[in-house]
Amino acid sequence: MANLTEIIEDYIKQLFEENNQNMIEIRRCDLASKFKCAPSQINYVLDTRFTVEKGYIIESRRGGGGFIRILRVDMDYENEFISSVTARIDDQISQHYAEGIISTFYENDIITEREKALLKAAVNRKTIGLKLPLRDRVRARILKNMLVSLCKKE
């Protein structure tokens, strides 16, 4: 039997299919009410299942008229996807998060296995060899620059 996280994830993905669009807007409180859970459960699903590295971009506005907009990035537009991911990488990024982005690119045939290995080697903590938080800052700069160079490949 599926757990609540999987049920909410499936429901949101179903909304994409029903609307036949790459963007949906939902209200956190409406979802929490529908699934009889705390709004933090909805946050957990969004934070773990609808991430940039999985091809989603989340925008939200809090307050009474607040909403959550989920954009599904079309993987057919590789350069646009790479650019949108690059634009959303903060000044710091963990190795785990960076490797998640790299794996998503590989799984969607945006990069080759060799490129995946090179990217992972470049963002590895042993390669960078610095202490936190500087290591995460350097990793973000390396990853952003490498992704920009991938946009230029033919």
CATH number of the structural domain spanning residue 95 = 1.10.1200.150
Q: Domain tally for the chain?
A: 2
pLDDT band at 45 (very low <50, low <70, confident <90, very high): very high
Of 46, 72, 98, at which residue does a domain stop? 72
Instruction: Look at the pTM and tell me if it is higher than 0.75.
Output: no
Report for 17-31, 78-92, 111-125: range of highest mean pLDDT: 111-125
Residue 11 has pLDDT above 90, yes or no: yes
Residues 34 and 67 in one domain: yes
The token pair that represents 117 in the structure block: 């290995």
Of 28, 49, 72, at which residue does a domain stop? 72
Q: How many helices, marked H, and strands, marked E, lie in the chain?
A: 8, 3
Which CATH number do you get for residue 36? Answer: 3.30.56.130
Q: How far apart are CA 106 and CA 92, in angstroms?
A: 22
Of 72, 95, 121, at which residue does a domain stop? 72
pLDDT of 145 reads: 86
**C-alpha angle 43-84-63 in degrees, rounded to nearest 5:** 35
Residues 50 and 84 in one domain: no
Residues 64 and 84 in one domain: no
Report pLDDT digits (tens) over 68-101.
888 886 655 666 777 777 777 888 999 998 998 8
Residues 65 and 84 in one domain: no
pLDDT of 154 reads: 46
Mean pLDDT of the chain: 84
- Cβ neighbours, 10 Å, residue 79: 12
On whether the CB atoms of residues 70 and 26 are closer than 8 A, the answer is yes
- Beta-ladder partners of 57: 71
- Cβ neighbours, 10 Å, residue 102: 24
Residues 34 and 92 in one domain: no
Residues 90 and 119 in one domain: yes
Sheet holding 23-26, edge to edge: 23-26, 67-72, 56-61
Instruction: Name every residue whose Cβ is closer than 8 Å to that of residue 50 and which is 6 or more positions away in sequence.
Output: 9, 12, 56, 58, 70
pLDDT band at 65 (very low <50, low <70, confident <90, very high): low
pLDDT of 141 reads: 92
Residues 94 and 123 in one domain: yes
Range of the domain at 94: 78-151
On whether the CB atoms of residues 60 and 69 are closer than 8 A, the answer is yes
